[in-house]
Amino acid sequence: MIDLPRHNAHFCAEHLQQLCRRQMAKAVDDFDMLSMEDRILVAVSGGKDSLAIWDMLVEAGYRADGLYIGLGIGEYSTDSGGYVRRFAEQRGLTLQVIDLRDDYGYDIPTASRATGRVPCSACGLSKRRLFDRAALQGGYDVVVTGHNLDDEAAVLFGNTLRWDIEYLARQLPVLPAANGFPKKVKPLIRLTEREMAAWCLVRGIDYVVEECPIAAGNKHLAYKESLNAIEARSPGAKSAFYLGFLDRMAPLLAGYSAAAAGQLNSCERCGEPTTGDICAFCRLVEKAAVHDPVPVEMVLSKRARKAYS
Ligand code: Q46
Ligand code: ZN
């Protein structure tokens, strides 16, 4: 039995699965995310959310392959890659693997040090670009990510605290294919972390439980903790905050997101879309690939180092 206060009910394994299937189907329908004919590429990290959404999509009859990117973040990456490979092997699913060090000559700690970007910025840029590239080159119709309600509510909370209108305007569960970018969707926006952990438990999915060591002490986790404290006092507040935003606020911001899209050029090196001459990813690879490898401990914040040791 799992207790879900926001639904004011306890769920057995069968009803929990029904709840998850229904909520995923509602998100997919409401936002026209996927069709049964689509070839889907799931961005998998080895954590519960991405493995759960891959499992849910395959179970629902969708044609979904996985893509895992080895980020070179110490033991965390070694472990998470193992979980993804075992998941795919056990179920006979197609998994593509990109290893930043082997395939591009760098890893995230080194890219962070070489470019002066915070590690999550170097990581986000690398992941976005490589998922987009793999989807377009592999002929996929859509990229699925495992962002859940807790993730999206925390991002919304941060964007709202800063009144970052451009980010708010782009914080949508579907980004249509445009300007050389593939379509991207988030079918787990109606489901929480707790529900995804429960899905994995009842479906026998092993996943990497540790967070990325670089995440320790970051703002995103602090926003999650704040929202959890509000949710504990007022069950349902988190979904009202995020789903209410999508329903009532996002339509008002639609003009901003169209204005922010702007005109893009083709990168002189890779040909992919960029606002300048050479895209940010090519510039990152150029600097990071010639830099001496940097161990993950060197790029952890003080708080993260404490949690890691
Ligand atoms: S962005 Fe940052 Fe995550 Fe990359 S460096 Fe770790 S915490 S894995 S989703
Ligand atoms: Zn480029």
Residue 82 has pLDDT above 90, yes or no: yes
If you average pLDDT over residues 165-182, what whole number do you get?
A: 91
The pTM score is: 0.94
- In percent, the amount of the chain with pLDDT more than 70 equals 95
Residue 104 binned pLDDT confidence (cut-offs 50, 70, 90): very high
Binding pocket residue ranges, ligand 1, CB within 6 Å? 73, 108, 119-120, 123-124, 212, 214-215
Q: What is the pLDDT of residue 306?
A: 67
Q: What is the pLDDT of residue 264?
A: 82
Q: Which ligand 1 atom is at minimum distance from the Cα of 215?
A: 7
Task: State the pairing for strand pair 174-175/183-185.
Answer: antiparallel
Q: From the CA of 121, how far away is ligand 1's center (Å)?
A: 8
Q: What is the pLDDT of residue 256?
A: 77
- For residue 67, the cross-strand partners are 43, 96
Q: What is the pLDDT of residue 240?
A: 98
Nearest CA, atom 5, ligand 1:
120
Nearest CA, atom 6, ligand 1:
212
Residue 257 has pLDDT above 90, yes or no: no
- Ligand with minimal distance to 276 CA: 2
If you average pLDDT over residues 79-87, what whole number do you get?
A: 97
> What gap in Å lies between CA 102 and CA 104, rounded to an integer?
6
Q: Which ligand 1 atom is at minimum distance from the Cα of 218?
A: 7
- Ligand with minimal distance to 267 CA: 2
Q: From the CA of 271, how far away is ligand 2's center (Å)?
A: 6
Nearest CA, atom 8, ligand 1:
212
- In percent, the amount of the chain with pLDDT more than 90 equals 80
Nearest CA, atom 1, ligand 1:
120
Domains in the chain with CATH codes: 2-308 (3.40.50.620)
Average model confidence (pLDDT) across the chain: 93
Residue 258 binned pLDDT confidence (cut-offs 50, 70, 90): low
pLDDT tens digits along 179-211: 789 999 999 999 999 999 999 999 999 999 998
Asked if 159 and 167 touch (Cβ cutoff 8 Å), the reply is yes
- Ligand with minimal distance to 266 CA: 2
Give the length of the chain: 309
If you average pLDDT over residues 13-40, what whole number do you get?
A: 97
Q: From the CA of 107, how far away is ligand 2's center (Å)?
A: 18
pLDDT tens digits along 222-255: 999 999 999 999 999 999 999 999 999 999 998 7
Q: What is the pLDDT of residue 57?
A: 98
